[in-house]
């Protein structure tokens, strides 16, 4: 019997969240707290000639004004970013100065009075421009920046990293092909738009312990970076991560925490709060990548892919932050879920004068799939082949090798042919892709396949289980509750393993890095795998402690005992048992002797056997497993004005094992919505000078109730043998095929190959009119 | 969050409001009338509107009037939701129902939208087309005028003048109308363009927001659209020649795309409200 | 710093506090009264995270000055106790990160009170005022529709 797995127990954060009791970083309010506001750049690229703070200092309530120090430099992989701009600004909205005052309005008023004199520099507005010969260099010192191994900045260029894939023999691939297609694709950076804007509170206690409360997905990374960058002892940096109001990757980056630390230092360690405005959250904080891509595919007449030659230019913005790793992920996943013997791909992380980038749900996968899956449709058209049939002929199966030359097996990759079959069924594929519903209205279907792994290494997670005297258990895990419900899933896993009531399992929501074991970071859909495995190990540890104590009480070998139903019982004689609550704090014999103490289960887990990619060929094991899926979109398209409605969206995903049905559905539908939203509306709009026009929710185009389609979701369960109960990562797969599926449906509907995002009626009109002019 | 401070006054009579305004000016202040306050608060936050005194007009009875005899009278401080709930002016309701969102409409007022700095001021469109009249208050007294006389790009108010009410003949309210708001994408937000039309005495009248940096109704444009010598497409081409200012080119859409959408919309209007007779 | 004393009726209690005229009701609720259920998301009237109930209407508390709140009956999420819409949000998993949730619940609750017979169009019209970035709105749709159905049954007898 399943105790909990596959069911949908109530989320553990429910009551707090529906009553307004759940506390997010900005909700911590104290009379002692000071407030920080930023002055940010109004230029995308300029020398800072002068920063005049005289007027700002006069504002009542102001305690301190901090300017950006030239060092230390920060950055996850390449240290290329000052905490605030010090002599050059490299993007519009870049923090220049921070004011600390008693009240937010005073800090704001002072920040408004800071006068900055700029000397404009030439602006780089796209990756292509950045690579032009003679292009302005954004980082003259690139060659000397500190960096991790396996990232390859190219001196005297704007290239922060390059990942190459060389699989098979590309010229042979072209020889074998009967048909080739070539196309270019592009889109601009865009925003994460979590509803909670980023916020942090930093305080330095008299004993030198730095307390950071932050809306972060990566509290343990902040701890390490603080120690490293500011020369602090790790034991004296404590990060608190309360509830986080959405992250989608955007809160993996550390940025405002550094600024707030300098602010707190400037006021003698008093607690300071820095809450980004929506505008700052959109442009000053890191964003999602933009992309310029070119792709050439070759295939036989029968539709067997023979060669792929691809260039992905990742618009990393002014700094590299996660840009170099996003580039690596783009290369590793470059062909989508298709087996191609001959592949040559260069993925470049390119500096521009755009806001800098960080992780975004899908970690390059949806961006790359937009390109690859559009190319597949273009190829199918040229082959006069059903686009799903073309995909079926080429999908990855166990035994095939990935672009990074990892051989897949039945555990590491899910069953994509199953997903495609089911998608056909759900979408009523036999009806045809285009149905005319009125004179000027078409109902049109588009599809895409997807695969996702996470190219992270050194990721680990720990879990501690503390028993309470009543036999209930507290779960301590460093996962941040950003909305995915992972902590509820941990409780489910424990309920299943201990065969106990989930209501007697209490999860600690807030993370405190001082007392809670580390979880790498709450990203990359790895929460369930890492923390889940750590939890199961901790459960086993607790079980063996319980059995040990019980074996003395029941005078038998621990090997004869089972734990379940809140008892420890003799396996073949269940009526001989002792209650867990009577032994989980030790056991006192009638004669007064005691054994044992509080049961504390411990467990940890690290991803195994991942390797770095070879610089020349990209060979290496980039991720633990691949979640695959087939997705589709059905739209109603107006042929006169190019407007459209999203009618239906489909996801068939092989998720290994459904642990929590409603949480999985929620993740997938939310991700689908996000993918469609990005593809249909979201983008930053840059002026020629790389100034972002109107960074506001009012004009950005986030979906609202009613813009969303009907969702159709189906799961397959091909177990990932390493995953807890076989589960695979699922947080991102709903998203990553959506942009391609939408673009494919619209390309068919409009009769023109759409190569740019977002797909607004205007962009379709442009493609169409441009097409007619040709 | 607004970083500057201001006085807050809430008069209960027109005269009191007018006098307050002048008194505050004498003190060297820059007072503004505060109706829904949504624009004052949101533009104030980014210092695009700066004031040191606000005069809240919501407690002035005349500004909250709703009366209907041979004409409909709506107070300037009625919220857009009030206007919708009254269900007495379908054309205006259709226009305001697309402004902002339901919750914001509980705060945004009719007068505030007419007097707003925002370039759209979509509530103005039906008022221009129905030849509505407005009641203004100044220390010289109350004056009633056709809105068309005072609305040129924006409502031409003298310093300290207060918009009190809007009046519309019931006859005009009965006339067939058409209004459509086109956005860059999806269902909520500023217009790419909003086009409103009214059929009166066999002629089509048109007012547009979002095309230029102000809402407008243009006589020559209407003449072209009603020129029965021409085919529908020719009429539209002729009308486009009379767009009174530069066409917007911004985050919502390019100028060329706005024209494309405008043409489609005008075609729909002529189809729905008549005028298609000569489309041979 | 110029502050005036005002009295606000919040969640059934009169509270006097000192406020700047320029302070929004959202700011005062959170910073002065510790009622942090209403969230800042944009301070521009766009997201609905700050939605509260004022005299039975949903209101974006970032679009309202605290001084405008005098004489009005204000309800925040903290004043909501075991309402149907709250249980439906739990039941239907209508939240993930939960940041938009108080605003959504306040908006839904006002809708249910004012229009228990709301049509799908009216529901859409009201719900458009809030943004949720985590869910795909489906679960919120289920929650509000079920809560409306229950409210309707209650009013029917
Ligand atoms: C979320 C959101 C979305 C929006 N979307 C749209 C949209 O799609 N289309 C659109 O047109 N607008 C839109 N707006 C803008 C909105 O229309 C303005 O904020 C609103 O019209 C201002 O009305 P108010 O009553 O709040 O005016 P206030 O902010 O009180 O005043 C606005 C201006 O008018 C002056 N004023 C107000 N009343 C009078 C009076 N009686 N006499 C003289 N002067 C007066 C004030 O002094 C001030 O200068 C949106 C606003 C929000 C918050
Ligand atoms: S904070 Fe009020 S609507 Fe966004
Ligand atoms: S639950 Fe996260 S924004 Fe709605």
Please report which confidence band the pLDDT of residue A491 belongs to, taking 50, 70 and 90 as the band edges.
very high
C contacts of B36 (beta carbons < 8 Å): 63
Task: Flag whether the ipTM exceeds 0.90.
Answer: yes
C8 and C75 share a domain?
Answer: yes
Q: What is the pLDDT of residue A716?
A: 97
- A:643-662 residues touching chain C, CB 8 A cutoff: 662
Instruction: Using the predicted structure, report yes or no on whether residue A487 has a pLDDT greater than 80.
Output: yes
Beta bridge partners of residue A34, listed in sequence order: A272
Q: What is the pLDDT of residue A486?
A: 92
Of the residues A14, A18, A195, which should be mutated to test ligand 3's pocket, given the most ligand atoms within 8 Å of the CB?
A195
- What is the pLDDT of chain A when averaged over all its residues? 96
What is the helix (H) or strand (E) element at residue B56, kind and residue range?
strand B53-56
A290-456+610-768 in CATH: which number? 3.30.365.10
How close is the nearest chain B Cα to the Cα of C19, in Å?
11
Q: How far apart are CA A596 and CA A584, in angstroms?
A: 8
What are the residue ranges of helices labelled H in A341-399?
365-383, 387-394
DSSP annotation of B242: T
Range(s) of chain A covered by CATH 3.90.1170.50: 32-121+196-245+251-283
C26 and C42 share a domain?
Answer: yes
C111 and C70 share a domain?
Answer: no
- In tens, the pLDDT along C63-86 reads 999 999 999 999 999 999 999 999
The structural domain count of chain C equals 2
What tokens were used for A654?
């092989």
Beta bridge partners of residue C74, listed in sequence order: C10, C54
Please report which confidence band the pLDDT of residue A363 belongs to, taking 50, 70 and 90 as the band edges.
very high
CA–CA distances in Å: residue C91 to residues A93, A411, A496, C142: 42, 34, 22, 10
Q: How far apart are CA C65 and CA C44, in angstroms?
A: 13
Interface A-C: count of C-beta contacts within 8 A: 169
Q: What is the pLDDT of residue B109?
A: 98
DSSP annotation of A4: S
Cβ–Cβ gap C97/A703 under 8 Å: no
- What angle, rounded to 10 degrees, do the helices at C84-91 and C101-114 form? 130
The mean pLDDT value for A484-503 works out to 96
Please report which confidence band the pLDDT of residue B276 belongs to, taking 50, 70 and 90 as the band edges.
very low
What tokens were used for A28?
């911590």
What tokens were used for A365?
């996968």
Which domain does C120 fall in, by range? 84-156
Instruction: Using the predicted structure, report yes or no on whether residue A631 has a pLDDT greater than 90.
Output: yes
Q: Are A295 and A374 in contact (CB under 8 A)?
A: no
C contacts of A665 (beta carbons < 8 Å): 93
Residue C152 sits in a domain of what CATH number? 1.10.150.120
Instruction: Using the predicted structure, report yes or no on whether residue B170 has a pLDDT greater than 60.
Output: yes
Q: Which of C63, C79, C95 is the last residue of a domain?
A: C79
* B36 Cβ inside 6 Å of ligand 1: yes
3-state SS class at B128? helix
Counting DSSP H helices and E strands in chain C, the numbers are 5, 5
Q: Does B184 touch chain A (CB under 8 A)?
A: yes
Query: In A591-728, which ranges are E strands?
Result: 594-598, 600-606, 627-638, 644-654, 710-716
Interface test with B, best of C27, C49, C64, C68 (most B CBs within 10 A): C68
- In tens, the pLDDT along A517-566 reads 999 777 756 778 889 999 999 999 999 999 999 999 999 999 999 999 99
Does the reported pTM lie above 0.95? Answer: yes
Beta bridge partners of residue A710, listed in sequence order: A648
Instruction: Using the predicted structure, report yes or no on whether residue B145 has a pLDDT greater than 60.
Output: yes
Give me the phi and psi of B127, to 5 degrees please: -70, -40
What tokens were used for A764?
């379709």
C9 and C71 share a domain?
Answer: yes
The mean pLDDT value for C99-113 works out to 98
**DSSP assignment string, A165-195:** EEES-HHHHHHH-SEEEEEEEEE--B----S
Strands A88-89 and A46-52: antiparallel
Q: Looking at the CA of B135, which ligand is closest?
A: 1
| Residue in B closest to A681 by C-alpha | B185
Give me the phi and psi of B5, to 5 degrees please: -105, 155
The mean pLDDT value for A723-745 works out to 93
Q: How far apart are CA A516 and CA A520, in angstroms?
A: 12
Residue with tokens 């690139």: A142
Give me the phi and psi of A719, to 5 degrees please: -65, 140
- In tens, the pLDDT along A508-517 reads 999 999 999 9
Q: What is the pLDDT of residue A771?
A: 60
| Residue in A closest to B189 by C-alpha | A698
- What is the pLDDT of chain C when averaged over all its residues? 96
CA A399 to chain centre: 29
State the closest ligand 3 atom to the C-alpha of C96, by its place in the atom list counted from 1: 1
Q: How far apart are CA A331 and CA A365, in angstroms?
A: 10
* A246 Cβ inside 6 Å of ligand 3: yes
C55 and C116 share a domain?
Answer: no
Nearest by CB: B185 against A112, A701, A765: A701
State the closest ligand 1 atom to the C-alpha of B34, by its place in the atom list counted from 1: 30
How close is the nearest chain C Cα to the Cα of A324, in Å?
27
- In tens, the pLDDT along A384-411 reads 999 999 999 999 999 999 999 999 999 9
C33 and C72 share a domain?
Answer: yes
Q: How far apart are CA B111 and CA B76, in angstroms?
A: 4
A contacts of B191 (beta carbons < 8 Å): none
SS3 per residue for C82-118: CCHHHHHHHHCCCCCCCCCHHHHHHHHHHHHHHCCCC
| Residue in A closest to B1 by C-alpha | A105
Q: Does C102 touch chain B (CB under 8 A)?
A: no
C74 and C8 share a domain?
Answer: yes
Q: Which residues are CB-neighbours of B219 under 8 A, at least 6 positions away? A: none
Q: What is the pLDDT of residue A3?
A: 85
**DSSP assignment string, A264-320:** HHHTTT--EEEE--HHHHHHTS-BB-EEEEEEEEEE-TT--EEEEEEEEEEEEETS-
The mean pLDDT value for A129-155 works out to 97
How close is the nearest chain C Cα to the Cα of B15, in Å?
21
Q: Does B104 touch chain C (CB under 8 A)?
A: yes
Cβ–Cβ gap C135/A666 under 8 Å: yes
Q: How far apart are CA A333 and CA A349, in angstroms?
A: 15
Q: What is the pLDDT of residue A774?
A: 43
Please report which confidence band the pLDDT of residue C157 belongs to, taking 50, 70 and 90 as the band edges.
very low
Q: Are C106 and C77 in contact (CB under 8 A)?
A: yes
Q: Which of C30, C52, C79 is the last residue of a domain?
A: C79
Cβ–Cβ gap C43/A19 under 8 Å: no
Q: Are C8 and C19 in contact (CB under 8 A)?
A: no
C70 and C13 share a domain?
Answer: yes
CA–CA distances in Å: residue B249 to residues A363, A431, B132, B184, B212: 34, 42, 31, 12, 9
A459-606 in CATH: which number? 3.30.365.10
The percent helix, strand, coil of chain B (3-state, each to 5) is 35, 25, 40
Range(s) of chain A covered by CATH 3.30.365.10: 290-456+610-768, 459-606
Cβ–Cβ gap A680/B186 under 8 Å: yes
- In tens, the pLDDT along B85-131 reads 999 999 999 999 999 999 999 999 999 999 999 999 999 999 999 99
The mean pLDDT value for A433-438 works out to 98
3-state SS class at A260? helix
**Rounded distance from Cα B113 to ligand 2 centre (Å):** 19
Cβ–Cβ gap C44/A278 under 8 Å: yes
Return the CATH class of domain A32-121+196-245+251-283. alpha beta
Nearest Cα neighbor of B148 from B94, B214, B199, B218 is B218
Give me the phi and psi of A17, to 5 degrees please: -75, -30
C103 and C45 share a domain?
Answer: no
Q: Does C67 touch chain B (CB under 8 A)?
A: yes
Q: Are A525 and A29 in contact (CB under 8 A)?
A: no
C137 and C111 share a domain?
Answer: yes
| Residue in B closest to A108 by C-alpha | B3
Q: Which of C37, C58, C79 is the last residue of a domain?
A: C79
Cβ–Cβ gap C65/B107 under 8 Å: no
Cβ–Cβ gap C125/B37 under 8 Å: no
Instruction: Using the predicted structure, report yes or no on whether residue B279 has a pLDDT greater than 50.
Output: no
Nearest by CB: A29 against C31, C43, C136: C31
- In tens, the pLDDT along A45-59 reads 999 999 999 999 999
What tokens were used for A757?
């995002």
| Residue in A closest to C130 by C-alpha | A704
Q: What percentage of chain A reaches a pLDDT higher than 90? A: 93
Instruction: Using the predicted structure, report yes or no on whether residue A17 has a pLDDT greater than 50.
Output: yes
Nearest by CB: C93 against A16, A193, A666: A666
C40 and C91 share a domain?
Answer: no
Nearest Cα neighbor of A478 from A121, A114, A216 is A216
Of the residues B31, B39, B40, B154, which should be mutated to test ligand 1's pocket, given the most ligand atoms within 8 Å of the CB?
B39
Q: How far apart are CA C51 and CA A642, in angstroms?
A: 35
| Residue in A closest to C102 by C-alpha | A20
**Rounded distance from Cα A170 to ligand 3 centre (Å):** 46
Cis preceding linkage at A72, omega within 30: yes
Neighbors of chain C by Cβ distance (3+ pairs < 8 Å): A, B
Alpha carbon distance, N-terminus to C-terminus of chain A = 65
Please report which confidence band the pLDDT of residue A729 belongs to, taking 50, 70 and 90 as the band edges.
confident
Q: How far apart are CA A137 and CA A131, in angstroms?
A: 10
């Amino acid at each position: 019997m399943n105790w909990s797995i596959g069911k949908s127990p109530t989320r553990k954060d429910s009551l707090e969240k529906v009553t307004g009791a759940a506390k997010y970083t900005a909700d911590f309010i104290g009379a002692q707290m000071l407030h920080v506001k930023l002055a940010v750049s109004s230029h995308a690229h300029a020398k800072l000639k002068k920063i005049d703070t005289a007027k700002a200092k006069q504002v009542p309530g102001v305690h301190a004004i901090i300017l950006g120090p030239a060092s230390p430099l920060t950055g996850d992989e390449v240290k290329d970013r000052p905490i605030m701009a010090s002599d050059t600004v490299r993007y519009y909205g870049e923090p220049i100065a921070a004011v600390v005052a008693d009240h937010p309005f005073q800090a704001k008023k002072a920040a408004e009075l800071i006068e900055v004199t700029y000397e404009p520099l030439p602006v780089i507005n796209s990756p292509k421009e950045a690579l032009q010969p003679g292009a302005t260099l954004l980082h003259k010192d690139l060659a000397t920046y500190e960096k991790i191994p396996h990232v390859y900045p190219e001196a005297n260029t704007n290239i922060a990293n390059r990942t190459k894939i060389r699989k098979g023999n590309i010229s042979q691939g072209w020889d074998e092909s009967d048909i080739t297609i070539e196309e270019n694709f592009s889109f601009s950076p865009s925003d994460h738009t979590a509803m909670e804007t980023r916020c942090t509170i930093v305080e330095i206690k008299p004993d030198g312990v730095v307390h950071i409360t932050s809306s972060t997905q990566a509290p343990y990374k902040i701890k390490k970076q603080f120690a490293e960058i500011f020369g602090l002892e790790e034991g004296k940096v404590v990060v608190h991560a309360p509830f986080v109001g959405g992250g989608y990757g955007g809160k993996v980056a550390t940025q405002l925490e550094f600024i707030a630390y300098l602010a707190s230092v400037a006021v003698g360690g008093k607690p300071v709060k820095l809450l980004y405005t929506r505008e700052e959250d959109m442009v000053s904080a890191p964003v999602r990548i933009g992309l310029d891509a070119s792709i050439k595919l070759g295939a036989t007449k029968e539709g067997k892919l023979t060669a792929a030659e691809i260039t992905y230019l990742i618009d990393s913005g002014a700094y590299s932050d996660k840009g170099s790793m996003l580039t690596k992920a783009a290369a590793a996943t470059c062909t989508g879920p298709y087996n191609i013997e001959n592949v040559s791909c260069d993925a470049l992380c390119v500096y521009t004068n755009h806001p800098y980038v960080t992780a975004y749900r899908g970690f390059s996968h949806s961006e790359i799939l937009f390109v690859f899956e559009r190319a597949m449709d273009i190829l199918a058209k040229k082959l006069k082949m059903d686009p799903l049939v073309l995909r079926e002929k080429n999908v990855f199966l166990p035994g095939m090798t990935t672009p990074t030359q990892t051989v897949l097996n039945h555990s590491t990759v899910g069953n994509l042919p199953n997903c495609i079959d089911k998608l056909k069924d759900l979408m009523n594929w036999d009806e045809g892709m285009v149905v005319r519903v009125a004179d000027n209205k078409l109902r049109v279907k588009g599809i895409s396949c997807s695969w996702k792994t996470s190219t992270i290494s050194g990721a680990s997670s720990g879990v501690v289980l503390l028993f309470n005297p009543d036999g209930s258990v507290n779960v301590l895990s460093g996962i941040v509750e950003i909305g995915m419900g992972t902590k509820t899933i941990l409780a489910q896993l424990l309920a299943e393993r201990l065969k106990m009531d989930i209501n007697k399992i209490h999860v600690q929501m807030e993370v405190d890095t001082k007392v809670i074991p580390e979880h790498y970071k709450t990203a990359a859909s790895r929460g369930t795998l890492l923390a889940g495995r750590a939890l199961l190990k901790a459960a086993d540890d607790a079980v063996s402690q319980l059995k040990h104590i019980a074996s003395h009480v029941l005078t038998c070998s621990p090997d004869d005992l089972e734990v379940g139903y809140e008892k420890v019982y003799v396996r073949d004689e269940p009526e001989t048992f002792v209650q867990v609550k009577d032994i989980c704090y030790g056991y006192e014999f009638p004669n007064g002797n005691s054994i044992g103490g509080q049961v504390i289960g411990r467990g940890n887990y690290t991803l195994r056997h991942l390797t770095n990619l070879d610089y020349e060929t990209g060979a290496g094991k980039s991720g633990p497993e691949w979640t695959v899926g087939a997705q589709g979109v059905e739209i109603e398209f107006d042929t006169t004005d190019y407007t459209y409605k999203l009618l239906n969206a489909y996801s068939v995903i092989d998720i290994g094992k459904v642990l929590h049905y409603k949480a999985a559905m929620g993740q997938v539908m939310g991700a689908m919505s996000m993918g469609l939203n990005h593809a249909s509306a979201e983008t930053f709009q840059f002026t020629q000078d790389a100034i972002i026009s109107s960074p506001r929710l009012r004009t950005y185009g986030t979906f609202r109730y009613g813009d969303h389609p009907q969702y159709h979701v189906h799961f397959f369960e091909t177990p990932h043998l390493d995953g807890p109960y076989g589960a695979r990562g699922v947080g991102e797969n709903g998203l990553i095929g959506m942009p391609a599926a939408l673009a494919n449906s619209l390309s068919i509907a409009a009769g023109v190959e759409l190569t740019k995002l977002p797909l607004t009626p205007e962009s379709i009109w442009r493609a169409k009119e441009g097409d007619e002019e040709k | 969050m607004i970083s500057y401070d201001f006085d807050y006054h809430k008069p209960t009579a027109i005269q009191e409001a007018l006098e307050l305004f002048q008194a505050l000016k004498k003190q060297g202040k820059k007072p503004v009338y505060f109706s829904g306050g949504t624009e004052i608060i949101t533009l104030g936050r980014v210092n695009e509107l700066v004031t040191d005194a606000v005069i809240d007009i919501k407690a002035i009875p005349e500004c909250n009037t709703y009366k209907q005899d041979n004409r409909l009278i709506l107070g300037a401080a009625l919220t857009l939701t009030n206007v919708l709930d009254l269900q007495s002016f379908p054309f205006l309701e259709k226009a305001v129902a697309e402004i902002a969102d339901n919750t914001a409409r509980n705060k945004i007022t009719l007068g505030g939208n007419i007097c707003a700095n925002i370039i759209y001021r979509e509530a103005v469109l039906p008022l221009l087309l129905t030849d509505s009249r407005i009641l203004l208050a100044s220390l010289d007294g109350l004056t009633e005028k056709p809105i068309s006389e005072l609305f040129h790009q924006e409502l031409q108010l003298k310093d300290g003048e207060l918009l009190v009410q809007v009046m519309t003949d019931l006859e005009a309210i009965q006339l067939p109308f058409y209004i459509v708001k086109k956005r860059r994408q999806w269902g909520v937000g500023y217009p790419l363009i909003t086009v409103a039309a009214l059929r009166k005495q066999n002629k089509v009248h048109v007012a547009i927001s979002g095309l230029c940096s102000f809402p407008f109704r243009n006589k020559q444009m209407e003449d072209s659209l009603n020129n029965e010598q021409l085919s529908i497409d020719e009429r539209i081409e002729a009308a486009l020649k009379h767009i009174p200012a530069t066409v917007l080119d911004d985050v919502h859409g390019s100028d060329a795309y706005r024209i494309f959408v405008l043409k489609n919309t005008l075609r729909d209007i002529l189809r729905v409200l008549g005028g298609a007779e000569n489309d041979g | 710093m110029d502050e005036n004393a005002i009295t606000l009726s919040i969640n059934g209690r009169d509270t006097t506090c000192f406020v700047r005229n320029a302070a929004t009701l959202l700011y005062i609720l959170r910073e002065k009264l510790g009622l942090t259920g209403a969230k800042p998301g944009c301070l521009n009237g766009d997201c609905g995270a700050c939605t509260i109930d004022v005299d039975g209407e949903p209101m974006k508390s970032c679009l309202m000055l605290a001084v405008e709140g005098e004489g009005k009956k204000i309800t925040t999420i903290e004043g909501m106790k075991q309402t149907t819409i709250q249980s439906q949000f739990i039941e239907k998993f209508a939240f993930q990160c939960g940041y938009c949730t108080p605003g959504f619940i306040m908006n839904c609750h006002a809708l249910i009170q004012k229009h228990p017979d709301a049509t799908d169009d009216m529901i859409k019209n009201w719900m458009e005022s809030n943004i949720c970035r985590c869910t795909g709105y489906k679960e919120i749709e289920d929650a509000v529709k079920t809560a409306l159905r229950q409210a309707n049954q209650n009013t029917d007898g």
